[in-house]
Homo-oligomer: A and B are copies of this chain.
């Protein structure tokens, strides 16, 4: 494993391609590095100058008098391999490649150059960041090998002064946005430990750095801007490590839309992968998604400040002297999924003693300006916070001038030290910088965007709940085992697409056998005979790997009485042949109509990045119109399967509803576990499984799998499209 410590904490650094030209990126890099009090030595390497910013320059890294741990390279792309090779030979441990023109460059030999970088890094076990990166910053070491204007030395120190309150590490492929988190967060008095931009990630990727940072144990929250994950196993291992360590990962994924996918591909050559798959991973490991720089910084600040007292639930009290501000915040909280309950009578009596007649203790607690002036923000918060009906507190303040807050400093400090529930401050006026600083030093991150304030409490509560579930291992066995040998035998036939009749033995091998009685026939007469034997209404379905969309093709008929079967047989065979004249037809399935049930779709879709994912949703128009689908990595445990069903918008339909009995969720969950295990056991072969519909009967009555389709690796390459239900 390359030595990330040598990368982030080098004793000395060589800067290959150094320049003093303030207008160029090279010059900005040199100035930025030299502007901070880094304790090691910085050796400029360039053939153009004898001296750079007063430092002796060397024509080659080989001539530098001390071996640097880290080389920072900013020279044209085509010279990078030879310089990196030289570094490796000399014993340099780490490199940052800032140059562009690699895999992100269209129609050039950049991809080849990038492969060479990877090979050299491997050969010398070099920790290489980039290429096409914007460098990094290590605030504790005052080391900033980057040309980002955000890291230029200025009167403001890299770290806030005042008490240590927990630090954030930023990881981003994108340099501009990576350092923008620092720019926005530092202005809010947030402390950053590392900002690492990883560019094309030819060697190290963001999650490798995250792993180092988690082992180091000095980072309280991670902000990760993702374009594409390269290694799913690293991602899963590190994401679980962070969750266990109590370090939240606040993330944004670039490539949620087609346009975003295009951008990521051309920007850092990232394969953006399916956003649905990323979301499934984020939900599974408790990564917190953000949607704006300030929002993510606010979330990080709030969680860091309250990591020892995350809210036990979502009930919030709001304290305010502005009635309008309190009411608006209450609406914002409810929109964010929080509750704003009326307080209990004991708390209200305690509060009312301090309020004028035109204030109110109900919640929002509107003390009015007069009472707030007398008892102060902390005084009011203290009256409210012990209500047993609330889990957290928002205090609406005005931080326009620090004077008023200065007067309340001791009281606020005492409250921060004693409070067992999180308290967030929202200032409806723009805060004066000294006011932000004062509050930050006391342990109150200050938020000015209402939506961010409410959302911070909601995600804190969700994240705490998820972590509690996780104190047991999260990637546990499913309890579901299958007859691997039988399943392997079915798949070994090498069929590209398994239609229902062919898929059944595969599913049955894993205990998913709940299909209605059915017979495969090859003539109208045989169909009639089969229907008579079944003895109730039947469905007829053409079985052909070439006709996956049977309904649209007219190749299926439902609810047939015994006398209708022969004619229906002829009609669907004719339709099938019209639709696909050269289709291989295995026969026609005569199947008993299943009893009624809640129509669900259940499926597997293998994601290019993360492997097989389970997909569950309400069937029929719900999939097409309301997109009511949930996705999760497999294998899946019973507790998670149940929580997935609860996350469906239509979750209420599984319960008793308007006189209808509750659905057999146990049977559905069992099928989810088995299907997940099957997909995991054969992840190299099975590309998709589509059980659509699955009818979930009343409690105790099980499920019926009424149609099934399996696509294997061979099929995925051949087939023009995926079934609509899987185009999540």
Contact = CB atoms under 8 A, between A and B. Distances in A.
B255 A327 contact: yes
Interface string A165-194: 000000011111110100110010000000
B551 A658 contact: yes
B331 A260 contact: yes
A410 interface: no
Contacts of A174: 322-325, 327-328
A335 to B, nearest CB: 7
Contacts of A105: 356-358
A659 interface: yes
Interface stretch (A106-114, A487-495, A681-689): A106-114
B366 A266 contact: yes
A466 B485 CA distance: 63
Contacts of A291: 332, 335, 450-451
B552 A324 contact: no
A222 interface: no
A1 interface: no
Interface in A313-328: 318, 321-328
Given A259-B340, A451-B292, A150 B400 contact: yes
A119 interface: no
Interface in A623-674: 624-626, 628, 649-650, 652-653, 657-659
10 contacts: A104-B358, A108-B358, A132-B358, A149-B400, A174-B322, A178-B324, A262-B342, A294-B449, A625-B653, A626-B649
A368 B104 CA distance: 11
Contacts of A626: 626, 628, 649-650
A330 interface: yes
B324 A175 contact: yes
Nearest to A429: B183
A46 interface: no
A259 B363 contact: yes
Contact of A624 (B360, B368, B652, B659): B652
A621 interface: yes
A623 to B, nearest CB: 11
Contacts of A150: 400, 429
B267 A324 contact: yes
Interface in A367-408: 368-369, 398, 400-401
Among A252, A328, A357, A363, which residue has the most Cβ atoms of chain B within 10 A? A328
Contacts of A430: 183-184, 187
A239 B470 CA distance: 53
Given A293-B428, A327-B260, A649-B626, A176 B266 contact: no
A552 B660 CA distance: 10
A333 interface: yes
A104 to B, nearest CB: 5
B268 A323 contact: yes
A110 B285 CA distance: 55
A625 B256 CA distance: 26
Contacts of A450: 291-293
B323 A266 contact: yes
A29 to B, nearest CB: 13
A25 interface: yes
Contacts of A176: 321-325, 398, 428
Contacts of A328: 174, 177, 225, 252, 254, 260
A234 interface: no
A323 B103 CA distance: 14
Nearest to A147: B369
A362 interface: yes
Contacts of A262: 327, 330, 342, 360, 362-364
Contacts of A102: 358
Contacts of A293: 428, 448, 450
A551 B255 contact: no
Given A256-B331, A621-B653, 5 more contacts: A177-B325, A180-B428, A227-B324, A259-B363, A293-B450
Contact of A360 (B260, B266, B327, B649): B266
Nearest to A197: B324
Nearest to A323: B267
A416 interface: no
A256 B454 CA distance: 15
A369 B25 contact: yes
A626 B328 CA distance: 25
